[in-house]
Every structure is written in C-alpha cells, then in structure tokens.
Amino acid sequence: MAKRTLWAASFALTLLLLLPLACLGASRSSFVFFEGTQYPLHVVFIQGEKPGPTVMIQGGIQGDEPTGFLAAQILAESRVRTGNLIVVPRANVPSIHVHQRAVNVDMNRRFDRDYNQFYEDRLARAVRFLLSQSSALIHLHEGSGFYDPEYVNPLRNPSRWGQSIIIDANVHDSLDLARLVNSALREINASVREKDYEFKLFNTRTFESDSRYAQEMRKSLTFYALANLNIPAMAVEVSKNIGALGWKVKHQVYATGVLLRHCGVDIVPPSVDERDVQSQFERDCRPKINGTPLDGRPLAIRSGGTITVDPASIGQNADKGQAVAVFASDRQGVNIVDSPRMALERFKELETRVDGRKVSSTTVRFAGAMPPPLPAGPPVFVCWLNGKPVQVRQGETLHALVGDQLVIEGVLGSKWREVLNFKGYTARPTDNDGQDMGWEIILDPESFIDRYRLPGPQADVARYQVLRETKGARPSSFYVDVAPRIVRSVKLVDAKGQVITLRWSSGGEVALPAGQYTVAETASNGPANRILSLAGGRPLRQGDTFRVEPGKPLLFSLRQATTFAALGTMTLVPKAQEDRAARNDTQLVSDGQSARYCGELPPPGSVY
C-alpha cells in the first residue's frame, strides 16, 4: 500500500508539472469553434476550486457512439474541486447528425499528421491545439462486443473493443499507464455488478511493429497525445452490445471520474439517472422554418424564397448540448440550421434529427411558380458567400478570401436538375459525381486539387472555375478568385476605456501595461468574424476580455475561423519588461508602415 501511495503521489506531481497551475477560484466558460459552419465544435472550459493539472475529455469523434457524447455532456456540468477540465462533448457533429462513424474520413485516424482536405481535418487541428494545453486525455468511445485478451466467443475476444480501457503502451518514458489504469480498474469494476460487463485493460502496443493494432492506432488521438505530447492518454470504451444506454452512460461517467482522480483532478459529476438518460436522448424537437414549426403538417415555402431555421426554436435542445439538424430530402447531410437555403429547386420534405435520431418528417409544398421566373440574358448563378446571397452571371468572377464560406445554391429560373461542379473541390469523396451544388465549400486553395488552379489576376490569388455540367442545359460557368486574408491591426480597449491599436506583424512584440484588455476589433481585408483571436491559448470573441499579468509575456494569436490555420502570433510584453522589447528594437510592419516601440504607451487612440 505504501508503494502504491508513493507512486500515485509521484504521478500526480508529474501531471502538475506538465501545465501551469490555474489561479484559485472556480470558473466555467464555453466556446464554439467553427461557428456558423457545418461542423461547429463546442468546448467547455472548467477551472477548478483548487489548482491542479488540466485534463481533456472528449466524446463524439465517431457519430455512431452516442454513449460517449452523452457521458461527455454530463461531465461538462461537473463541479471541479481540484484541477481543470477541457471538455469536448461532440467532436464530430456532422457524423453525429447522420449517425455514422465517418462522413468523409474517420476523424480518429487523422492525427498522424496535419491533413488539410476535409472538415474532419480542421476539427482535428483544433483538437490538437486544445490537447496541447492539457496534462492528460480521456477519450470516450463505444465499441463492438467485449474485449478479452483471449478468444472466448465471437463477441468476446481480442478483436472486440467494448468494456475496455485502452492504452497504447504499458509504459512510455516515465509514464506507467498500465499501473495507473489497473489501479483505477479495481475501483471502477467494484461498481459493476454484472461480472460480464467489467472493464479490462486493453494495451494495443501501438509502438510495437508486431502489434495487430499498430497501423490504425498510430493515427489515433490517444497515440498522438502519448507519442507527441508525452501525456497520459486513455480511451474508455463501453460496449455497443449492451442495450441499456443509461447503464452505459452512468458507468462511463463513473469510470472517467475515477481516472481523473488518478490523474490529479477531483470532480463531483452530476448524478446520473439511467431512465433520465434515455428520456433526454429521446427528447423531441420542433424547429421553426421561417416562423412555422416542423410539426408533421405540410409546410408551405415560397418559390425562390429563403429557408431559415429560427435559432430560438431549438434553444431547449441546444442548451442540453444536443446536435439538431434539419435536412432537405435532396441534400441529406447539409444542415439548414447552420446554413440557410434558397428555394430554387423542388424537394419533397424536411427531416429533423436530434443527436442523429430522426424525430420528424415534414412534407414541403411550394407556393408560386417553380422554378421562379428566368431573368433575361445569360445564366445567373446564385451563391451564398459567408452567409450572404450573391449573384454571379455567366463568365463573371466572384471575389473571395482564403477561409471564406461558399455555397453554390443554383441557377435562377432553371427548369433542370442542376449539376454545378467547383473544379478542384470534391463534395463527396466516396461518391464523386461532380455535384458540388448545395454543399459548404471552405475556400482554402491548399485543400483543393492543385491541377485545377488557374492563373489569377495576381500571383497570390488562386482562381477556380465553376462549371455547369447539367444534362440538357446550355454550358456555362463562372470563376471564383481566392485572395489571401491580410490582417492589418487589432484594436484593444484597456480597463480605462483607452483604445489601443496594434499594427499586426506576426512574431513581433508589443509592450503593454499589465492589466485587463478587451478585444474590440480585428481589421483585415475581409469580415472580422472570419478571424479567431486567442490569448494565451484561450479563444476570444469580440468583446471578451483577457489579462496581461505582471512579469508574464502573453502570446496573442490569430487564426482562420473556418480552418483554424494560423495567421500569426505576437507577444504582449508586460510594461515591466518593456525595456527588453525596446532593446530588441522591435519593428511591427503593416501596410508598408513601421513603428518602433520604446516602451511608452502612446496617447489615447494612437496606433502601436
């Protein structure tokens, strides 16, 4: 017992040293990365009552595993007595909507490098960033059968994953994962009455070349955490072959709480009522389309009109963290909740889903002539650019920036079932029929097929062609020019209301007095909401505040809001250290101008 206590204390100390301790005082906040896209990532940050390590909990990376995202949602409401939590309840919302393991690719196989092709890769980029702020990872899953190191029967053998706690190695460097998990398992299994449902340690031996699991697991998030960040990483896997959803959620929450305690984080999770879990999962939802609820009765939609979902109508479900989707029958997988649609072509019905479960289907009737009247002249293409409708005529060019959100809606007045192909982009890699109409396209030339890039008006502008490939229709096309996003400045407001404008130059330093600042505005050549600010690793909305602490330089970063690609980082140096910034003769350049910082705060309204 003495040895075990000594080991536990040593392990906890190691975790504490991996991340700076939080300040005293509990707090809870949430943030939505990729807001307004088809793949929003909701994250909850909980600072505990007492300082300690930070552990990340994630569920929902594969959409056909509801136990994981339901358990993570409950854990996001925990009281944290010691340490801190970063909770990602639903890491892959589009896959949850369709109740599938993957949409384009398996997101839990995208962590062996920085891929940049599908929305899953952007989510993985943000998840890696969050994990870099953590001392350990607990990943919540739901697998088939029951893991056993020996073959017992078709449902209980080494090829099954359920009712296990998975690690990639027994020992890695100084981390004794097997000892940690085995110690936790004694407590976890004491709460499991059904012996056949007890959890087992599952070491995939991912580092070893002869492991049957190595090829796939080396792409996983737990392996990334262990191999790249050298932090403990465990997956808690319940069995899909246990029918009682409430039982699985309750025991996954409990197992996670025990593992957290062994990692130095002490929580009090909400009590879990098994029947309540089932009823919450089966919660109904009646979204309103243009003010009319989807209640099963036929819905009238004006031809050529805009179809939007009233956010307030799904508020009760969203407050519980549930993922709500409304799909048109001709665009399954495109969520109207996150992206409005224009009624240019007929479709039969609208389907409502909550956490991947179909709750209603509503027949659609169109009021007025369909299609709407055809305008005179060449074809007119209708698109949404960053949520705003735009029209582009045959041969014209739509001007956009890297990271902008484009949806090709259709052709005005067309009587055809249109096929519009954005050359260089693939909407559905498993069924590439050239149809890109209706799908969200994040304009990122680095993710497009390079051979389709055309010369633009400037060397740094990428041009792509959108071709009308509709059978029987007159051939036509338009172009999309994608220019780089250029950040010019960031406006901050200090506690006295003084506006300070920082000319943006990645890698630069700015001396500021210690204190509280508010992010007022980010100026660039595009919409401000397409840029994400981060202070010390924490995301900030416009109007959010952050602190520059005495003696602690703070990294202030900007990223593309839709791709999480870096736009640069500056260091905010507390005024006590301003002499060093002055000695470095820091130059911050923007729009061909430069300013030298000598450590003195300029007059109100001045530009740094």
Q: Where are the domains of the chain?
A: 2-280, 288-367, 380-483, 487-596
What per-residue confidence (pLDDT) applies to 25? 65
- Residue 20's pLDDT band (boundaries 50, 70, 90)? very low
Which of 123-137, 194-208, 307-321, 531-545 has the lowest average pLDDT? Answer: 307-321
CA-only gyration radius of the chain, Å: 26
601 has pLDDT over 70:
no
Q: Residue 186: pLDDT above 90?
A: yes
Q: How confident is the model at residue 368 (pLDDT cuts 50, 70, 90)?
A: confident
Strands 136-143, 50-58: pairing kind: parallel
Q: Are 149 and 157 in contact (CB under 8 A)?
A: no
Q: Is the dihedral of CA 72, 77, 81, 85 positive or negative?
A: positive
**SS3 label, residue 381:** strand
Is residue 528 over pLDDT 90? yes
Q: Is the pLDDT of residue 582 over 70?
A: no
Query: What CA–CA distance (Å, rounded) separates 453 from 448?
Result: 8
| Per-residue pLDDT at 501 exceeds 80 | yes
Averaged pLDDT, 331-335? 93
**Looking at residues 208-212, what average pLDDT do you find?**
97
* Tokens 């649609």, located at residue: 341
Fold of 487-596: Immunoglobulin-like (2.60.40)
Identify the CATH number of the domain defined by range 288-367: 2.60.40
Spell out a b/e string for 145-168, using b for 16 or more CB atoms within 10 Å of the CB, else e.
Answer: bbbbeeeeeeebeeebbbbbbbbb
Hey, is 73 helix, strand or coil?
helix
pLDDT at 7 over 80: no
Residue 313, judged by CB atoms within 10 A of its CB (0-12, 13-18, 19+), counts as buried
Please indicate whether residue 61 or residue 416 has the higher confidence score (pLDDT): 61
Check residue 597 and give its pLDDT.
26
The continuous run of DSSP H or E covering 80 comes out as: strand 79-88
With 50 as the cut, is the pLDDT of residue 316 above it?
yes
At 370-395, the pLDDT tens digits run 776 776 788 999 999 999 999 999 99
CA distances from 589 to 285, 484, 485, 502, 572 (A): 51, 17, 16, 10, 16
The mean-pLDDT minimum among 18-22, 250-254, 359-363, 438-442 falls in 18-22
Question: Is the pLDDT reported for residue 579 higher than 80?
Answer: no
How high is the pLDDT of residue 576?
Answer: 63
Question: Residue 11 above 50 pLDDT?
Answer: no
Q: Do 408 and 468 form a contact (C-beta atoms < 8 A)?
A: no
The rounded mean pLDDT for the chain is: 90
**How do strand 462-468 and strand 420-422 relate by DSSP bridges?**
antiparallel
Q: Do domains 288-367 and 380-483 have the same CATH topology?
A: yes
Does the pLDDT at position 600 exceed 80? Answer: no
Distance CA 240, CA 217 (A): 20
C-alpha dihedral over 430, 433, 436, 439, to 10 degrees? -40
Kindly indicate the confidence band of residue 433, based on its pLDDT and cuts at 50, 70 and 90.
confident
pLDDT of residue 32: 97
Q: Which one of 3.30.420, 2.40.128, 1.10.287, 2.60.40 gives the CATH number of domain 380-483? A: 2.60.40
Q: pLDDT exceeding 90 applies to what percent of the chain?
A: 82
Assigned CATH class of 2-280 = alpha beta
Q: What is the pLDDT of residues 97-155, one digit of tens each?
A: 999 999 999 999 999 999 999 999 999 999 999 999 999 999 999 999 999 999 999 99
Q: Give pLDDT, residue 283.
A: 87
- Rounded CA gap, 390 and 383, in Å? 5
